[in-house]
Amino acid sequence: MAKGSIMIQMEVAEFFDPTVTSVPWLFAHAFDTLDGDTTIVREIAAEKIGGVAFNRHTGSMDLTDGAYVKLFLIFAGQDRPLQSFHAPSHVPSPGIEGAGMAILEIEDPGYRIDSPGTIAVGRLIGAHTYIDEVE
């Protein structure tokens, strides 16, 4: 039986002490099971706020203004590869048959600075997707 409309949503907040020299990549996942009927991905969106403060740093630095967000549909059949969608997207997908799980993934780069420099990082990333399951 189709589940109807589903929303998968997550938020990640990270704050690092201002005396660190590196901040790791961020990976976060949220998932929900699907019934295997027809799945339509309606929307994938993300928002990132925060910043990086450097102490005793010379040189250039490139920072992203948005997080990298993907949605994966996993299928029960071993011979069928997963299907991925990238944010942002506000255009409904065609109907997809047989998906058994949806996984929403957030990825954001890490930072590193050589000593004697230090960095302070605060980042808040939110992502969501709307999925419709129909018979």
What average pLDDT does the structure give for the chain?
86
Q: Looking at residue 64, what is its pLDDT?
A: 62
Does position 58 have pLDDT exceeding 70, yes or no? no
pLDDT-wise least confident of 92-96, 97-101, 121-125: 121-125
Task: Please give the Cα distance from 4 to 131 (Å, whole number).
Answer: 8
pLDDT interval class at 1 (50, 70, 90): low
Q: 19-33 b/e with 16+ CB inside 10 Å = b?
A: eeeebeebebebeee
Q: What is the pLDDT of residues 10-27, one digit of tens each?
A: 999 988 877 788 888 889
Does position 69 have pLDDT exceeding 80, yes or no? yes
**This prediction's pTM:** 0.84
